A = this chain, B = another copy of it.
Amino acid sequence: MTGKPLRLYPLPPWEVSAIYEDLELPPAGRRDASRPYVIINMVSSLDGKVAIEGKASRLGSETDRQTMRTLRSKADAVMIGAGTLRAERLSLGLDDPAGPQPLAVIATTSGNVPLESNLIAGERQEVLVVAPEDVTVRFSERRPRVLRVSKDLSSNIDLAETLKVLRTEYTVDLLLVEGGPKLSHSLISQNLADELFLTLAPKLLGGIPGEGPTILSGNVLVAGDIHLLSAYLVGDELFLRYGLHPFHLDD
């Protein structure tokens, strides 16, 4: 026992108006201000799956989507991998198309970014595609800005370089990453992610191994301490916030 167990639920209710609304992000006293503070937000079933028929949007509740928008409202940029964009039509912005929008960042290795068909973005939302120098980015009418970066040893985009450029040239101080599993894994395994916001949906999806992804996909990670920062419950859905500092090998 590392301490006495605390019963979290049931408990006398301590209601709050909205999850994460009062959260200060990035937190004061972060270590590395040379890159954006990176938070990852994903939803998972109880059996670790992140998508129903390939679409993550079907897994979380309306509260989960509201929580996602709360985090987006604090972020300077919202980043996803191109595979997530190809999987379904999605928005990376806020509800009010007239208000300020976070920069939408699409990371791609292949250059296949179907912005026209799959990205719902109003005129006020800028779109930035991050791609390796030697890859042709295919798009039709909508012409996003394209940020060219080096490849890392795995022939993916160099994420450390990407984050530094987002910080210096795009003034991104808080970067929200919404998957997919490969991009999240790459950031965590390279010690470039600071927090994981994990929604645990009260669902069991089944499926055989390899059929459905979990929140992370990549090499086996070296286990480290991860700290639960807060937990919220709405209905039967848990909203968990974890600090990933121990993955920073340079600590």
Interface of A is mostly: loop
The reply on A142 being an interface residue by CB < 8 A is: no
Q: How far is the CA of A205 from the CA of B247 in the complex (A)?
A: 12
On whether A210 and B209 interact (CB within 8 A), knowing A231-B238, A233-B8, A242-B46, the answer reads: yes
Q: How far is the CA of A235 from the CA of B154 in the complex (A)?
A: 36
The reply on A188 being an interface residue by CB < 8 A is: yes
The reply on A33 being an interface residue by CB < 8 A is: no
The reply on A220 being an interface residue by CB < 8 A is: yes
Contact (Cβ within 8 A) B234 A5: yes
Count identical subunits in the complex: 2
Min Cβ gap A25→B in Å is 17
The reply on A203 being an interface residue by CB < 8 A is: yes
Q: How far is the CA of A19 from the CA of B5 in the complex (A)?
A: 7
User: Which of A59-67, A87-95, A125-133 is found at the contact surface with chain B?
Assistant: A59-67
User: What are the residues of chain B within 8 A of A9 when measuring CB–CB?
Assistant: 6, 8, 228, 230-231
